[in-house]
Amino acid sequence: KVRPGGFTQVNPEVNLLLVKAILEETARLAPGPKTALDLYAGSGNISIPLTRSGFQVTAVEQAAEGLQAARENAKGLNGLTFIGGQSEKVTLELARRGQAFRVTVLDPPRSGALNMAPLLAGLRPELILYVACHPAVLERDLPAFVSLGYGLEKLTAFDMFPRTSHLEALAVLRAN
């Protein structure tokens, strides 16, 4: 469910493929703590399935509509913590507190998440899953993550917007 003014992927069938790809990547992790940070979490599109797959998830969303919808969508689900606020500020605070996450998922707005690379390095995620709706912005942002010790393992395009030139992309980055 999404509240008026909230964000959702416009193509439900392709969105299911995207979420499935994210869950498959997290399932490939070696045994260990199942902790994840979902930045720009919206209404819980990714954080709820991650939690259902056994992860302890911290979901960060700035928009009040998204945060409220996520809480409603996650009713009765244990292992999911919501934080309202700007992803950049919350990530910086989590790093200052010494928190670490094995997985970080980013699904930023069209402007991308270039400033997140150095902030995420402080959290030391083993796996970064970057969802982008603007491939040129993803191309701009990826070198910042690579320069901090993450290798681009896989890049998958999802035709979220058929019969247009727009694509959704999933970049899988692993710590070297």
| Strand locations in the chain (E) | 35-39, 56-61, 80-84, 103-106, 127-132, 150-158, 168-175
User: Pick the catalytic residue: 18, 50, 133, 144?
Assistant: 133
Establish whether 136 is a catalytic residue.
Answer: no
CA distance 88 to 24: 26
Which H/E stretch holds residue 101? none
| Strand locations in 71-145 (E) | 80-84, 103-106, 127-132
How far lies 142's CA from each of 1, 87, 161, 172, in Å? 31, 18, 23, 10
Residues with catalytic roles? 133
